[in-house]
Structure 1
Amino acid sequence: MTQSSTPQPTKVQIRRWRKYMADEVAEGAIYRELAVKRTGQEHQILRGLAEAEERHENYWRAKLGEHARPVRPSLRRTMLRFMARHFGSVFVLALAQRAEGNSPYATDQDAAPQMAADEQVHEEVVRALATAGRTRLSGNFRAAVFGANDGLVSNLALVMGIGATGVASSFVLFSGIAGLLAGALSMAAGEFVSVRSQRELLSASRPTQVTLSAAQNLDLDANELVLIYKARGMNDEDAEHRAAERMGLFTCDCNPSFSLHPEVRSAELEREHEELGSAPGAAMSSFMFFASGAVIPILPYIFGLSGLPAVIVAVVLVGIALLLTGGIVGLLSGASPVKRGMRQLAIGLGAAAVTYCLGLLFGTSVA
């Protein structure tokens, strides 16, 4: 009898498996690099992900056998490893989340079903790790991104609209500088008032410990502690039960959900405060990033260009900036950076095109 042997992989399979193996090596290295920059539970989670990627690497290495020669990983994973080593920021986790979500194992019959399931779990783990970083960035970063995009779009629209009327380049430059300062100051003031007002509203909602300090002096026959607990969402029975405990009439051996614990609510409010960011920080971010965006459309005029060449250069520069800011937002949100970048570009250039057409119409009517 002849013994059955394992079929030899084809050249196409060998190339694909080598790529998978190289990517798994790179992903394991990415998580180990990130783990070095973390402590506690996050460190353990990242190390666990690295060990899982090592198991996947060994799976492909075993299938390749004598063909298991090292190859270069994909460009995306090479860049991720570089960023993890030198930055270790939330951008790396956002990119890693996308990489895990785009795993080809679900449709590749050569991959074990467990590996496809692993990649799905990894995506959710990385998503959870990235959430903390996104939360820290969501306050001031939100103001920065919106400020930069507003500066880019509004000043480009202003410059193109005025430039299309045929006025002198010096007037276009002056208008652009005025638009930059007016918009940046307006954005900063509005963001400061908005964030400060939200923080004050959250602070005003924080429960106090008045139920402890005032309980001993309250009238037993007109126990207004009950009103506090009713206002916090309890029904009549639960409110009276908790008020009696607070006044020392008996020790409550009841469901702890009878009361809305101030310490729990305070922790929730602190997280909301963190997400909002500080009012001065948000205002400064809005001012700086609006100004940095608004200066780009007037750069051609600053360097002496005029007429149609200045307009073309301004559109190109702003288009590149819109693609970058849209791509960054896409990365942080776990969406496609290309799609988000193209969306930003379409919105920005669309608004500028409208004002340019109006400027042409106004210039023609004046002439």
Structure 2
Amino acid sequence: MLMTVQDFEAAARTRLDPVHADFIAGGAADEITVRANEEAFRRLRLLPRVLRGSTARTPEITLLGSRARTPVLLSPTAFHKLVCSEGELATARAAAAAGAIMIVSMASTVAVEAIARAARDAGADGDPAPLWFQLYLQPDLEFTEALVRRATAAGCAALVVTVDSPVRGAHERDLRNGFLDLPDGLRCEHMADPRQDGRVRPIAMSPEISWEHLDWLRGITSLPILLKGVLHPEDARLAVRHGADGLVLSNHGGRQLDTVPATIELLPEMYAAVGGRVPIVLDGGVRRGTDVVKALALGASAVGIGRPVMWALAEGGEKGVRRLLELLREEFDQALALCGARGVTDLGPDLVRAPAWGPAPPFPGAEAVRPDGAVS
């Protein structure tokens, strides 16, 4: 019986080509940050309240205008057809049924239009959670703008711009395995260039991308823009000044620069830096419902999961992802009850202790107010 995220991973590994399993599990260089993301959550302790007199919990959130039945988002992950023949279609149906926001990867193996149709068809009561679209800003701004227009036309409700990739991280597992490209028959559907007869172009990782490009993007779209991969507090402040509507506090799952801190360790300082002006979504290392509680208590408005979705998709396709999301929702609800919380808005830093981070109070910015409308 699959009862934990770790169970899904173990089951998926029995089904996958070991090279593809390494692609999902691996990170940059020595993979110190990959391990740190989970270890940092394990070091945190919850300090529950009692006798709060509530029989029902409300895990629903509203985030930048997108309503969801859970604060657990599906972070953008590439190449779903690598592990399941239906690829992102199965993932989208599962997310829609669970009422969870799915962030469609720019490197998906199914086009955003088809993903959006699948989400609409599978939505509970005809009301699926919104899709967001992840974007790498390309030096070719004409191509980038066309992709933004395409995602908008498909119904995506926000753009998540990955900003931590001026170059690719050192994926040594993939290099050792010779995994340098997708197998025949699979491709990054969003990188097909209509100006070149549909030829699939590589995703450009460009060190020339700057704050000016964010200003340009802000000028061509009215969608909310979240920046994914901002880790430094000063960059968080700059993001707000340049019109970012939210941040995804992410170290790319440890797949870019190795030895950067775990994201949960950075959350209190980042929350203080933005002063509650924009919501923060945290991803990296979330494996339990208690992890969700810890992140929300320290100032996140939601969390994202990446690798767990891929393991669940590999193990059981759409049903696997649905079961994963149900499991995390059940764990989160149980943790809320045991912490004496009725919902997301009852969670605060007083519920968390972090002995490894120094003496109490270890959480700068605890007095900051959550962004208006970030949760409901």
Give me the TM-score of the superposition, normalised by structure 1: 0.21
Q: Which has the higher contact order (CA 8 A, sep 6+)?
A: 2
Give me the TM-score of the superposition, normalised by structure 2: 0.20
Q: Per residue, is there more helix in 1 or in 2? A: 1
Which one has the largest radius of gyration?
1
Q: Per residue, is there more strand in 1 or in 2? A: 2
